[in-house]
């Protein structure tokens, strides 16, 4: 009878299942750890690639053109302080990184070269190139007369700059 039970595959499977000596139990935790580790590694790799690609795209971005205007007309001479001009600095970005927004800053520098006014904004999600953007400032009677400048920046990188006179 012992001979018959050793050759019966069903009986042998029952014995292995109840004894806990099956090979699968030892492999399941290792397989699960391998799968989790692989998913985490792939996720970190994808995240790293995304940041690397975005960094390269930001480095290749340039200003295709910059215009300073008031009332929709390009500023060709001095801006008259007594009329309280609102100046708009428009910059067209060539090769901006697509699929996300950009954080930009404009510095309005007084004749001493100090940042007198600052604009901070985040663009909409960029889905085309070139990409136009702008900043603006309304000058008043207390602003110092003289030669001013405005700079648009992405981080520390200057994308565009214009000089103008406030008279």
Question: pLDDT of 34-61, one tens digit each?
Answer: 788 878 877 776 665 655 555 665 567 8
Domain end point (choices 38, 58, 78): 58
Cα Dmax for the chain: 114
> What is the predicted pLDDT for the residue at 11?
76
Alpha helices in 61-104 (DSSP H): none
If asked whether residues 6 and 29 sit together in one domain, one would say yes
Residue 138 is part of which domain span?
61-166
Of 23-37, 49-63, 72-86, 148-162, give the lowest mean pLDDT range: 49-63
Q: How many domains does the chain have?
A: 2
If asked whether residues 26 and 37 sit together in one domain, one would say yes
If asked whether residues 104 and 156 sit together in one domain, one would say yes
- Whose CA is closest to 127, among 98, 103, 101, 91? 98
Can you tell me which residue has the tokens 């985490």? Answer: 40
If asked whether residues 124 and 136 sit together in one domain, one would say yes
Residue 135: both structure tokens together: 């900043």
- The answer to whether 150 and 87 have CB atoms below 8 angstroms apart is yes
If asked whether residues 28 and 87 sit together in one domain, one would say no
Can you tell me which residue has the tokens 């920046």? Answer: 153
If asked whether residues 79 and 130 sit together in one domain, one would say yes
Q: Which residues pair with 118 in a beta bridge?
A: 107
If asked whether residues 141 and 86 sit together in one domain, one would say yes
- The answer to whether 152 and 104 have CB atoms below 8 angstroms apart is yes
If asked whether residues 66 and 51 sit together in one domain, one would say no
Question: How many other C-beta atoms lie within 10 A of the C-beta of residue 44?
Answer: 10
- Which tens digit of pLDDT belongs to each residue from 120-159? 999 999 999 899 999 999 999 999 999 999 999 999 899 9
When pLDDT is cut at 50, 70 and 90, the band that residue 26 belongs to is: low
When pLDDT is cut at 50, 70 and 90, the band that residue 24 belongs to is: low
If asked whether residues 82 and 148 sit together in one domain, one would say yes
Report angle CA 79, 81, 82 to the nearest 5 degrees.
Answer: 125
């Amino acid at each position: 009878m012992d001979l018959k039970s050793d050759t019966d595959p069903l009986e042998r499977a029952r014995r292995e299942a109840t004894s806990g000596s099956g090979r699968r139990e030892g492999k399941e935790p290792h397989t699960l750890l391998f799968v989790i580790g692989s998913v985490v590694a792939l996720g970190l790799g994808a995240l790293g690639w995304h940041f690397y690609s975005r960094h390269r795209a930001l480095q290749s971005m340039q200003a295709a053109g910059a215009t300073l205007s008031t009332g929709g007309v390009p500023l060709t001479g001095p801006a008259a302080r007594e009329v309280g001009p609102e100046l708009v600095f428009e910059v067209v970005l060539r090769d901006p990184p697509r699929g996300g927004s950009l954080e930009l800053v404009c510095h309005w520098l007084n004749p001493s070269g100090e940042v007198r006014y600052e604009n901070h904004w985040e663009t909409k999600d960029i889905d085309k190139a070139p990409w136009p953007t702008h900043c603006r400032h309304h000058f008043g009677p207390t602003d110092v007369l003289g030669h001013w400048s405005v700079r648009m920046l992405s981080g520390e990188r200057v994308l565009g700059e214009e000089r103008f006179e406030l008279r």
